[in-house]
Amino acid sequence: MYDPRQLQVLAEVARTGTFTAAAEALGYTQPAVSYQMRTLERAVGAPLTTRSGRGVHLTPVGQALARHAETVLAVLRTAQDELASLVATGGGQVRLSAFQSGCVGLVPSALVALRRTHPELEVVLTQTECATSNRLVLDGEVDLAVKCDLDDAENPPDPRLRRVPLLSDRRCVLLPADHPAATAAAVSLADLAGERWILETVRTRFLAACREAGFTPRIAATTDDQLTIHSLVANHIGVAIMNELGIAARTHPHVVARPLQGWPTRNIYALLWPDRMRSAPVAALLSALGAAAETLGFGPAA
């Protein structure tokens, strides 16, 4: 049986590439890290690292054990967190992160249902960007994250993590109710080339799509607050784009939403370590999120 402390040292050596950096990250001395690695190598019966310049590389045996070490350490973190939350609250605690429209359009319904079925369960919610959620899950700072796949090409989730599909939604254009395009079944960017736009801070994909459509948008306002976006559209300051999930949570009576043609469907999923699915509090929240996603009536999860 391998010592979990030695597995933690191996995992940190694999992450940092040097005994010195691993020691600093763990709060150990460099000789202590060297000793733990030698002890682990004796237990394994084979070298785990080789020297490479000022650092070290893992041998094939070391690489294999490091992969298993991450799994073992994740299970231990799950057990520690679940037991600590049960002791502290009497019903358990789950730490959840979600992007903005997930926080306003999906999570509240799930938490309402969860309060009825698991009233003692505490859910700690953090709103964050999808790319940040990857790190939070990996580092064990949250138990699961609700995120979308649009940025996965640039920031792919770690393959060791489990993806649980929830729903898919479309990108829409928000228009004043009396706008000429308000009665259309769908609109394209080219149809709105002459409009003034209310845009969110992150707009790279939108600006690229406008260039492909042959125009540069005139920007009337920049805001990431969804209530502000609706109010500005309602008062004819400009038009805006927003996903269905955000629209479903908050719609101004003088604003209509029409699907945007040619825009990819966004797939929304929960991301977590596979072992966390065995935690009763996490499983309860995951079930509530799935049920809330079904009630929204958007596209099926992909």
DSSP-assigned states of every residue in 62-122: HHHHHHHHHHHHHHHHHHHHHHHHHHHHSS-EEEEEE-HHHHHHTHHHHHHHHHHH-TT-E
CA–CA dist 57, 50 (Å, integer): 5
Q: Which pLDDT belongs to residue 91?
A: 58
Last residue of a domain, one of 41, 75, 109: 75
Residues 127 and 237 in one domain: no
Last residue of a domain, one of 22, 42, 75: 75
CATH of residue 134's domain is: 3.40.190.10
Residues 154 and 279 in one domain: yes
Q: Which two tokens stand for residue 54?
A: 């000022």
Residues 135 and 274 in one domain: yes
Provide the whole-model pTM.
Answer: 0.69
Tell me if 111 is assigned to some domain: yes
C-alpha closest to that of 194 among 174, 215, 223, 208: 215
Q: What is the dihedral of CA 53, 54, 57, 62, to 10 degrees?
A: 140
Tell me if 301 is assigned to some domain: no
Tell me if 81 is assigned to some domain: no
Q: Which pLDDT belongs to residue 84?
A: 64
Q: Which pLDDT belongs to residue 82?
A: 64
Residues 181 and 42 in one domain: no
Tell me if 86 is assigned to some domain: no
Q: Which pLDDT belongs to residue 88?
A: 53
Residues 254 and 271 in one domain: no
Domain that holds residue 241: 171-259
Q: Which pLDDT belongs to residue 209?
A: 94
Residues 184 and 42 in one domain: no
CA–CA dist 85, 105 (Å, integer): 27
Residues 152 and 271 in one domain: yes
Tell me if 80 is assigned to some domain: no
Tens-binned pLDDT, residue by residue, of the chain (302 aa):
778 888 888 888 988 888 988 888 888 898 888 888 898 888 888 898 888 878 888 999 888 888 888 887 777 776 666 666 555 544 588 999 999 899 989 999 999 999 999 998 999 999 998 889 988 998 888 999 999 998 787 788 888 899 999 999 999 999 999 999 999 999 999 999 999 999 999 899 999 999 999 999 999 999 998 889 999 999 999 999 999 998 887 778 899 999 999 898 999 999 999 988 888 899 999 999 999 999 988 877 76
Taking only the tens place, the pLDDT of each residue in 126-181 is 999 888 998 899 888 899 999 999 878 778 888 889 999 999 999 999 999 999 99
Last residue of a domain, one of 29, 44, 75: 75
- Helix, coil or strand: residue 176: strand
Residues 98 and 152 in one domain: yes
CATH of residue 57's domain is: 1.10.10.10
Q: Which pLDDT belongs to residue 219?
A: 96
75-111: burial string, b at 16+ Cβ within 10 Å, e else: bebbeebbeebeeeeeebbbbbbbbbbbbbbbbebbb
Residues 289 and 163 in one domain: yes
Residues 213 and 235 in one domain: yes
Taking only the tens place, the pLDDT of each residue in 89-104 is 445 889 999 998 999 8
Residues 140 and 109 in one domain: yes
Judge contact between 170 and 297, C-beta under 8 A.
no
Residues 102 and 131 in one domain: yes
Domain count, the chain: 3
CA–CA dist 121, 128 (Å, integer): 22
Q: Which pLDDT belongs to residue 10?
A: 87
Tell me if 83 is assigned to some domain: no
